Amino acid sequence: MKIKADTSVCIGAGMCVLTAPDVFDQSDEDGTVVLLQESPPEGQEEAVRRAVTLCPSGALSVE
Amino acid sequence: MSHVSMPTLRRQPLDPPEEVLRLQEEGPIHRMTFADGHLGWLVTGYSTARAVLASPHFSNRPETMHPIVPSRLEIARRGVPPVTRGFFLRMDPPDHTRYRKLLTGQFTVRRIKMLEPRIAEITAACLDEMEAAGGPLDLVEAFALPIPSLVICELLGVPYEDRAQFQVDSQILFNLETGADEALAAIGRISAYLHGLIQHKRETPSDDLLSGLIEGGELDDEELIGVSFLLLVAGHETTANMLGLGTYALLTNPDQLAAMRDDPSVAENGVEELLRYLTIIHLGPLRTALEDVEIEGALIKAGETVAMHLPVANRDPERFPDGDRLDVTRPAGGHLSFGHGIHQCLGQQLARAEMRIAYPALLRRLPGLRLAVSPEEVPMRSDMSIYGVHRLPVTW
């Protein structure tokens, strides 16, 4: 699974950080998503998928 | 297809109007006649509400909207509130994006985590005062309002002792019966207060969000007033009503209260469930189509206004089975109580932190907490655009 994050769409709601904190972070400057890893560690796939669904701006996707 | 108007009468204080629940059984989207006669739409389905709120083909600008309740007709006709620069909630991209990006860094999960010790301190101080005063007292005045009020005031850099100058006016603005002149006067008073505060901070800056925005130099005074107006008012009315109404919901559902009090692992999800079950944004949000757009089979024409009924969408059985029941252990994530799309609540992580700290602290400090009146006597905020309790008399 490969995660894609579009910071130009991101509104910094923080749902991804709340849902999968090992995979997502937020920039201190403008709150937009920072990918800590491009592929989720084992056992985190479901959390990542949930984060994609919860993202309010549609900034996240997985391949 | 039948045309309805917005049902607002609740038979049970914690349940949405029965008419809207019945509409949901018929389908996710319905034609609705707005208060000015406009034929728009009412969305009752979870996934349809999400789709509209996420769509770039809808506007959130006030001048595109039709009022859903008759009492707001005059305000809508006269274009009140006037569109203030900086009040980015009611803007579309790219204006909305510009303002929001200036603020999101202050509301990240990490930033809010750093505020948690201070929130806990404020909460404990409120509880100390309650214990010293003794019951019965009004939990809204002693607990539900002061916690978020103090937190947002400190974060923004608004002196808490000035609260009398904006709390009353904020209530006026959220009251559905407020006339246009009264609303304009209240907006004028809050704006004048904030203008004075901004001048003062320009001369003597301190370590707070408002001073940071002033020093950043990207916003002029009018924009600074618009932004701080939004943050101040939104930071007050939302969490305060969740704490008040949430405590009422727990006190009237003792098994759920016990779970929130006794099991620390429940609190986090319990807050999401209270957000879902209570959905205090009960009359909207609204969006107006900028062009013809098809949403899950319904053709919404350019210029038509859509009202999302979030309390009912959050009980959509397809998304939340048995959603009419408060169950603090159900997976409640994904609710629409903070909205969805680009306008999803900027302060949601702050609101979560406040609630995750305040509910358990209250229930543990005062294990004998109970209503000091019968549940039917608690005055509900049916007359306000944000639902909740006007007062919550409690004792312990």
The order of strands in the sheet holding B29-33 is B29-33, B39-43, B305-308, B286-289, B58-59
Cα–Cα distance for residue pair B252/B250, rounded to 1 Å: 5
A62 part of a folded domain: no
Range of A20's domain? 3-57
**Residues belonging to chain A:** 63
Q: Which domain range does residue B296 map to?
A: 18-395
Tell whether B12 is covered by a domain: no
Chain A residues with beta carbon closer than 8 angstroms to that of B100: 11-12
ipTM: 0.94
Query: Is residue A31 in some structural domain?
Result: yes
- Return the H-helix or E-strand segment holding B321: none
Q: Are B108 and A56 within 8 A, CB to CB? A: no
Q: How many domains does chain B have?
A: 1
Contact A26 B334 (CB under 8 A): no
Share of chain A above pLDDT 90, in %: 94
pLDDT at residue number B6: 85
Element (H, E) at A54: helix A45-54
Are residues A26 and B110, on separate chains, in Cβ contact within 8 Å?
Answer: yes
Q: What residues of B are in contact with residue A57 (Cβ under 8 Å)?
A: 54, 341-342, 344
- The verdict on a CB contact (< 8 Å) between A28 and B339 is no
Alpha-helical regions (H) of chain B: 18-26, 46-54, 73-77, 95-104, 109-133, 139, 146-156, 164-174, 180-203, 209-216, 221-251, 254-262, 264-278, 310-313, 348-365
CA atoms within 13 Å, Cβ hemisphere of A45: 6
Distance CA A8, CA A58 (A): 11
Closest approach of B284 to chain A, Cα-based (Å):
17
Is residue A37 situated within a structural domain? yes
Nearest C-alpha of chain B: how many angstroms from A42?
Answer: 22
> Using CA atoms, how far apart are residues B64 and B290, in angstroms rounded to an integer?
9
**A14 in B contact zone (CB under 8 Å):** yes
Using CA coordinates, name the residue in chain A closest to B342.
A57
Whether A44 is in a domain gets the answer yes
Residues of B in Cβ contact (< 8 Å) with A30: 101-102, 104-105
pLDDT for the residue numbered B296? 85
Asked whether residue B284 is domain-assigned, the answer is yes
Minimum CA–CA partner of B52 in chain A = A56
CA dist B277 and B242 (Å) reads 11
With an 8 Å Cβ cutoff, is B333 touching chain A?
Answer: yes
- Residue B111: its pLDDT value, please? 95
Element (H, E) at A17: helix A15-19
Contact call for residues B240 and B151 (beta carbons, < 8 A): no
Query: Is A14 inside any structural domain?
Result: yes
Q: Does A1 touch chain B (CB under 8 A)?
A: no
Structure confidence at residue B320 (pLDDT): 97
Domain for residue A11, yes or no? yes
In a domain, A51, yes or no: yes
* Residues of chain A with C-beta less than 8 angstroms from the C-beta of B96: none
Indicate which CATH number applies to the domain containing A40: 3.30.70.20
Which residues in chain A touch residue B110, judged by CB atoms under 8 angstroms apart? 17, 25-26, 28
At B156, which CATH number?
A: 1.10.630.10
* Average pLDDT per 10 consecutive residues for chain B, totaling 396 residues: 76 95 96 95 97 97 90 79 82 93 95 97 98 97 97 95 90 90 92 95 95 95 95 92 98 97 94 98 95 94 98 97 97 96 97 98 98 98 94 98
**Would you state the structure tokens that stand for residue B227, as one six-digit string?**
């932004």
Q: Given this model, what pLDDT does residue B2 score?
A: 55
Q: Is residue A17 part of a domain?
A: yes
Give the bridge partners for B31, in sequence order.
B41
Burial class (CB in 10 A: 0-12, 13-18, 19+), B34: buried
The number of folded domains in chain A is: 1
Candidates B111, B349, B355: best to mutate against A (most CBs of A within 10 A) is B349
